Every structure is written in structure tokens, then in C-alpha cells.
Amino acid sequence: MKLFQDYKKQFRLALIIFVFTFSFFVAPSIYAQSADEIRDKINQKDSDIEKLEKEIAAYQIELNNLGKQKGTLASAIKELDITKKKLNADISVTNSKIDKTNLTIQNLGRDIGNKEISISNSVNSIRESIRSINEYEQTNIFQTLLSNENFGEVWVDFDNVVTIREKNRKEVLALKDAKVDLEDTRDVTIKAKNELVKLKSQLSAQQKIVEQNVKEKNKLLADTKNNEANYQNLLVLRLAQKERFEKELADFEGQLKFILDPSKLPSKGVLSWPLEKIFVTSPYGQRSMGWHSGVDFRGSVGTPVLSMADGVVKGFGDTDLCCPGASFGKWIFIEYNNGLSSTYGHLSLISVERGQQVKRGQLVGYSGNTGSSTGPHLHVSLYVSDGVEINSFESKSYPGRTLVQPIAAKEAYLDALKYLPAL
């Protein structure tokens, strides 16, 4: 009977060693094939996105070349058509990114499941080994020595206990690392889910911009009756109205007085870039066509526009409702927490509400070609907050219509590039 108990004890110790050795390596193989399939699909989505981005780049080159040949109804319609193709390609990219993110989340979920199983197995193994060692150590050691004729077997038992203790120590350390790894994977999953929400919002916005593009083309055809002469007459009329409108706007701002206190200005470099990719097309200040009140950045229709600092949205509007083709077009005005404010102009879509708190880098809208714009871009005017406010006045160019937009004295304007990161 005693001999049977000795064998049973040694077998149990050996079994614990075996379980300890393999507990961390069994679970991950459960979904190995499915995980590989998911990774293949993710790689395919990456390939799709790369092809679509090349297509978008080609459309953009076509639009840039077309911009040099503007002035006819045919070129205006062609520009709208190419823009629509580019926007649809943008939508396809976003859809592919959504699919990729869903696959990534699925893969992360499987990874989390495998890690949780592995951790559970490890905990159970550690618990079992501790219980067995405690049982072994509760046995009177002298009784074990006297009852066992073969002292070699006794030392084997002792060695097994020491081995398990050492493995216990190592596995506890590995368990801690595994739990940290699990939490990291969960954090990545949360970020992926947040990215998915952002992409779905972006997709909805892109679809709205396409709808606007279609309406713009239909309106152009309706206004001109698809006739070149009518289009040229329309251009002449709108240019004259725009010049009168912007003159009265300049006169209105010229009446405002503001004394700049340099001591209230924040340090340089307090703002972040309003677009992910930066190319300045027109700087602040005097230029051949006159004084430029802001900085222009290259941005195709539908490019996400980001807040340059923490602040609050004080207002938004659309000057095209008063005078088509004049001033900012669709605009957003944000007052930052650092004493500065800015207007984002020529937008295609506005994604914020009045009174909304925004963070640096947060999406606020999408660049476009509204207002006084010779081509798609983002205009940013920067001011000292004390010297600017959203104002309104009745337009003499369009009697009965009221212009609403940020108004500031010339002295309140600042060069945004001085407060943005170095190029």
C-alpha cells in the first residue's frame, strides 16, 4: 500500500511538471488557421487601399492641370465630374479602411480569447502545484526517510519539489507579463474601435459631400441652361457682385479700431497643423492681388480639417448664402484657450456645432471650394481673440441679404505660420 502511495506521489509531481511546461503553449493554436485567414484579408485590404490612393492621386493631378484651364462651362463641369470620381474613390478607401479595422478588431478579439485561456490554464497549474507541494511538505520528513528503504528515491522526491518551486517562480513572473500583454492588447482593441467610429463618421461626411457635388453640377447646368454664353455672362455678373461685396466688407473692417498688446500674445508654436499633409499655397500678408488676411493650404474637396488647439466653436456659416463666390464660403470660427482665434474658410462640410468644445487635432470639417476660391483649398485666418467677433451687416451688393461672418480690425490679424510648427 505504501509503495502504491509513493508511486502515486511521484506520478503527481511529474504530472504537475508536465502541465506547467505546456500550459502556456496549448491555447494559442486553437485559432491559428482563422487568424492566418484574417491576416491575409487585412493584407488584401492594404493592397486595395494602396491602389485606390494611386487612383486618387491621379485624379488630383488631373484637377490641378484643369485648374490652369478654367474659364469655360465645359471645364467647370469637367472639374465637378473629376471631383465626384475622386470623392467616390475617397469613399472606397474609407470603406476598405472600415473593413480592415473590423478584421483587425476580430483578430484582436481572438488574440484576447487565446491569452485569457492561456492565463486561466497557467493560474490553475500554479494553484495545483502549490496545493501539491503543501500536501507533500505536511508529511513528516523523518517518517518519509525512515519508511523509504531507497534513499535515492527520497532525494528524487526532494528534487521534484525544488524543480516545481523554481518553475512556480518563473511561471508567476511569466503570468505577470502575460497579464500586462493582455491589457496592452485590450488597449489596442479600444483604439481600433474608436478608429472605426471615426471612419464611419468620415464615410457619412464623404457621402454628403458627393451629394453636394451633384447638386452643384445640376444647379450650374440649370443656371446656364448648358450654354457657354450664359455661363460667361454668369461669370461676369458674379465677379462684379463679388468685387462690390468684398469692398464693402473691407470698408466695414476698416472702420474698426484695435490696439494690439504684444504682451498678451502666446508663445510661438502653440498651434498644430490644420491638415495632416501640409503645403502652403499662399502666405499671410501683402501679395500681387492685394493684402491676404490668412494662410492658404492645399486641400482637395473632402480633406479632413483639424482644430489647431483646444477651444470652443463660437459659430459657423456660409457667405455663399448672401453672395455666391465671395468671402469665406462655408466657415467655422473657433476661439482657443490661449488668447487666439481662427476662421477656417472655403469648407465643403462643417462637422461641429456652435458652443461645442473641441480638442487640438479634432475633426471640425472638410476642405472645399466654396466662397471666393480659385480652387479647392483651406483658408485659415488667425486673430487676437480680443480683436475679432462674429458680426452681421446688410449687403448693398445683395439688397435684403445679411452677411454673417467673423469681422476683425486689420491690427487684430496675425500670421498663422508664426504660431504653427516650423515647416
Q: What are the pLDDT digits (tens) for 242-296? A: 888 888 888 888 888 888 888 888 988 899 999 999 999 999 988 776 788 899 9
Measure the CA–CA gap between 284 and 342, rounded to whole angstroms.
13
Predicted local confidence at residue 118, as pLDDT: 82
Predicted local confidence at residue 144, as pLDDT: 55
pTM over 0.85: no
345, 365 in Cβ contact below 8 A?
no
- Please give the helix or strand (H or E) that residue 254 lies within, else none: helix 228-254
Kindly state the average pLDDT of the residues 368-381: 92
First to last CA, the chain: 85
**With 60 as the cut, is the pLDDT of residue 30 above it?**
no
Supply the mean pLDDT for the chain. 83
**With 50 as the cut, is the pLDDT of residue 11 above it?**
no
297, 403 in Cβ contact below 8 A?
no
Per-residue model confidence as pLDDT tens digits over 386-399: 999 998 888 877 78
Measure the CA–CA gap between 342 and 313, rounded to whole angstroms.
10
Residue with the three cell numbers 494553484: 127
- Residues with Cβ within 8 Å of 45's Cβ and at least 6 positions away in sequence, in order, are 96, 97, 99, 100, 103
**With 70 as the cut, is the pLDDT of residue 46 above it?**
yes
Per-residue pLDDT band at 156 (split at 50, 70, 90): low
Least reliable range by pLDDT among 91-100, 123-132, 263-272, 369-378: 123-132
CA nearest to 248, candidates 373, 398, 388, 389? 398
Per-residue pLDDT band at 139 (split at 50, 70, 90): low
Residue 293 CB neighbour total at 10 angstroms:
19
| Residue with more model confidence, 197 or 129 | 197
| Residue with more model confidence, 210 or 374 | 210
> Taking phi first (over 0 means left), then psi (-120 to 50 degrees means alpha), and beta for anything else, what does residue 92 get?
alpha
Predicted local confidence at residue 65, as pLDDT: 82
Predicted local confidence at residue 124, as pLDDT: 81
Predicted local confidence at residue 397, as pLDDT: 75
| Residue with more model confidence, 375 or 12 | 375
**With 70 as the cut, is the pLDDT of residue 138 above it?**
no
Highest averaged pLDDT of the listed ranges 217-231, 243-257, 279-293, 306-320: 306-320
Kindly state the average pLDDT of the residues 30-51: 81
In this prediction, what percent of the chain has a pLDDT beyond 70? 82
DSSP SS3 for 387: helix
The cell for 383 is 486673430
Domains defined for the chain, CATH in brackets: 2-212 (1.10.287), 228-418 (2.70.70.10)
Measure the CA–CA gap between 121 and 165, rounded to whole angstroms.
18
Kindly state the average pLDDT of the residues 342-346: 97
Measure the CA–CA gap between 255 and 332, rounded to whole angstroms.
24
**With 90 as the cut, is the pLDDT of residue 8 above it?**
no
Least reliable range by pLDDT among 13-27, 33-47, 285-299: 13-27
**With 80 as the cut, is the pLDDT of residue 26 above it?**
no
Per-residue pLDDT band at 20 (split at 50, 70, 90): very low
The cell for 422 is 516650423
**With 60 as the cut, is the pLDDT of residue 408 above it?**
yes
Residue with the three cell numbers 502653440: 270
Residue with the three cell numbers 465637378: 80
